[in-house]
Homo-oligomer: A and B are copies of this chain.
Amino acid sequence: MKMFKIPEATVSRLSVYSRFLSKLDKKGIITISSGEIAEGVGVGAAQVRKDLAYFGEFGTRGVGYNVKDLHQHILKILGLTTSWPVVVIGAGNLGTALCLYDGFRERGFNIVAMFDVDPLKIDKEIEGITVYSMEKLGDIIKEKEVKMGVIAVPAEYAQQIADLLVKNNICAILNFAPAVIKVPEEVQLRNVDLSVNLEILTFNIVNNVKNLY
Shortest A85–chain B CB gap in Å is: 12
Residue contact B203 to A11, C-beta cutoff 8 Å: yes
Cα(A195)–Cα(B80), bound, Å? 11
Please give the count of copies of this chain that the complex contains.
2
A73-111 to B contact mask, C-beta < 8 Å, 1/0: 000011110001010000011101110111110110100
Judge whether A50 is part of the interface by a CB distance below 8 angstroms.
no
Across the interface, which residues of B come within 8 angstroms of A96, CB to CB?
A: 93, 97
Judge whether A15 is part of the interface by a CB distance below 8 angstroms.
yes
B-facing residues in A1-42 (Cβ within 8 Å)? 1-2, 6, 8, 11-12, 14-16, 18-20, 40-42
Residue contact A197 to B202, C-beta cutoff 8 Å: no
Given known pairs A94-B101, A188-B201, A190-B201, the reply for A12 and B207 (CB within 8 Å) is: no
Judge whether A135 is part of the interface by a CB distance below 8 angstroms.
no
A interface residues, how many (CB within 8 angstroms): 73
Shortest A55–chain B CB gap in Å is: 10
A interface, CB within 8 angstroms of B:
1-2, 6, 8, 11-12, 14-16, 18-20, 40-42, 77-80, 84, 86, 92-94, 96-98, 100-104, 106-107, 109, 147-148, 154-155, 171-172, 174, 178, 180, 182, 185-190, 192-213
- Having A15-B193, A78-B202, A103-B155, one finds 9 other A-B pairs with CB under 8 Å, namely A11-B200, A12-B193, A20-B180, A79-B202, A92-B100, A93-B96, A106-B195, A148-B201, A148-B205
